[in-house]
Chains A and B, each alone.
Chain A
Amino acid sequence: MKRLTQILIYLFLVFLLVLSLSPFYLVLINSTYNSIDIVTKVKFLPGTMFLTNYHKLQELTNIWRGFANSVVVSVPFMLFSCYFGAFAGYGFAKFQFKGKNFFFFLVLASMMLPSQLSIIGFYSTSLKLGMLNTFWPLILPGIANAAAVFFLRGIIEQSVPDSLLEAARMEGCSEPTIFNKFVLPCIMPGVATIGIFNFVSSWNNYLGPLIILSDAKKFTMPILIATIKGIFLSNYGAMYVAIAISIFPVIVVYCFLSRYIINGLTIGAEK
């Protein structure tokens, strides 16, 4: 009886495993067949048409340009959120100043306020700043990433001792130097965690680029992928290759960082 429940539990777990992975497996398989095979045969093993599909995709769209655009947006966004998140987190953690509680309340409030709800205001702000159809409205908000500030403030409070700061001040270090030379290295693991999450959220951002970018040359991966159905109509092989290019880099990175990412997940819930 006990053995039977154990077997049933494993069956259930494996079933969910298959559900989780099968869409990715289908991408892998279907991207290696031509469109006719895709709509006429059931296949479980990869075919040989990947490169043909890839060339067809390249003929009508520049997928790597989209990839590069996504990198150009996501990397600075991530770096800004890490550096300035730690910067503001340090201000909140180690200094006493008037209005501190109010400003910290702003951080908390903007964490709860969904940015999607002010999407029209975001659009018109970008218009007024002359930043429409540029990457700036997608990169600069990284400087005001409330989650990074909140999380790194907690880390600094826990792991940067006041005595270290005092000692650095005795040595005559200026405050910015103290931050760059002593505080930042202390909290690198936390910075990396928040960096991964902010990179992924920026990489996957769809609505932001959709309303800001109008020039097809500037499209990031998610918008490029969304336009592909209209371009390729029934050329499924090429579409599967496009999807593969957009999802497999993330899967590969996840294979190496999964433990790190999963540990970082519970940060938000521990408020």
Chain B
Amino acid sequence: MRWGKCEMSNSRLNKRRNCWGYVFIAPFLVVFVLFGLYPIIYTFELSFQKWNGFSPVQNAGFQNWLRLTDDSTFPLTLKNTVKIWLYDFIPQLGIALVLSMIFTFRKIKGMSVFRAVYYLPNLITAASIGLLFNILFNGDKSTINQLLMRFGMIDTPIAFFKSGHITQGIASYILWWMWFGYTTILIMAGITSIDTTLYEAANLDGCSTWQTFRLITMPLIRPTILYITITSIIGGMQIFDVPANLTNLAGDPQKAILTTSMYVYQQGFKNTSLGYASTLSVMQFLIIAAFSFIALKLIRKKGA
């Protein structure tokens, strides 16, 4: 009897103590609702409204969405964004796979130094990097033109920012430069978590390095690759800082590096069509969700 009573009072005490759980998560929840959840809901709401930032918000029904179907710039920005992302992501994953194989399967002196330096660009302010590459490449007498001419690689200076393709290429290169070290570190973490006895077994069975890589490493780091791909899609489809500072906020030349996020910013804060900018944001979100879902299906399917 006494035991039961004691347990009961104990559980009541527990219950009261567990109320503290709400207290501890309360600050997070309040600020999350204010600055996280509400802006999302309100962006969705605004996508059906007309607002210039000053006068009262007006209902617009599906007007913004109809405008979107007629807008030829939106698909262009999408194409630019995907292009810049793909030319960054494919070499990034490729180089990162090669590097992580080298670092885990060979004795490399100074491995941690190499790795640390490769990661460094990732920490630097992307806006500063955009401006830096602008002044390094811009103009006939730019540092890059001078270097290329000095080493006899070109005879006449290249007008890098007159060509849309080259400008897109530079944007992709910057993103690759910023992210290949990060990707290498993540893949290495994936590889080191693989049970070493599997490699020993493969070795005993006479597998070549390539076979070991293809049959053991690749399938087992699939979750890591999946994580890298999805986060890269989410981040890459929203790139803003680098292209916005590489040439200008209009994405010159001829909108070649006008990304979707830059277009949202332009519509919202330069044209003060905050309603239409919200519609673009919602569409952008749906497209990112769709791409992530496709990537998930593709990478998972290959594993089966």
Contacts and interface: CB of A to CB of B under 8 A. Distances in A.
Contacts of B132: 23, 27, 243
A125 to B, nearest CB: 5
Given A26-B143, A115-B36, A141-B31, A124 B274 contact: yes
B136 interface: yes
A178 to B, nearest CB: 9
B118 interface: yes
B21 A265 contact: no
A167 interface: no
B18 A95 contact: yes
Contacts of B210: none
Contacts of A124: 39, 42, 46, 51, 274
Contacts of B99: 13, 16
B24 A179 contact: yes
Given A23-B136, A120-B278, A251-B120, A141 B35 contact: yes
A144 interface: yes
Chain B interface secondary structure, helix, strand, loop or mixed?
helix
Contacts of A103: 25, 29
B28 A17 contact: no
Bin chain A's interface residue count.
Answer: 35 or more
B251 interface: no
Given A20-B117, A265-B182, A91 B135 contact: no
Interface string A14-45: 00110111010011001000000011111000
Contacts of A266: 185-186, 189
25 contacts: A13-B102, A23-B129, A38-B143, A91-B21, A96-B14, A97-B21, A100-B21, A110-B36, A110-B37, A114-B238, A117-B43, A121-B43, A123-B269, A143-B31, A175-B23, A206-B127, A222-B125, A226-B131, A236-B135, A243-B128, A246-B125, A250-B123, A251-B124, A262-B116, A269-B190
Given A42-B150, A254-B120, 14 more contacts: A17-B117, A20-B118, A26-B136, A91-B25, A94-B21, A103-B29, A107-B28, A118-B39, A119-B265, A125-B38, A144-B28, A144-B36, A226-B244, A262-B116
Interface of A: 6, 9-10, 13, 16-17, 19-21, 23, 26-27, 30, 38-42, 84-85, 87-88, 90-92, 94-97, 100, 103, 106-107, 110, 112-125, 127, 129, 137, 140-141, 143-144, 146, 149, 169, 175, 179, 200, 203-204, 206-207, 210-211, 221-223, 225-226, 228-229, 236, 239-240, 243, 246-247, 250-251, 254, 258-259, 261-262, 265-266, 268-271
Interface of B: 14, 17-25, 27-32, 34-43, 46, 51, 53, 95, 99, 102, 106, 108, 112, 114-121, 123-136, 139, 141-143, 146-147, 150, 177, 180-182, 185-186, 189-190, 224, 227-228, 231, 234-235, 238, 240-241, 244-245, 261, 264-265, 268-269, 274, 277-278, 281-282, 284-285, 288
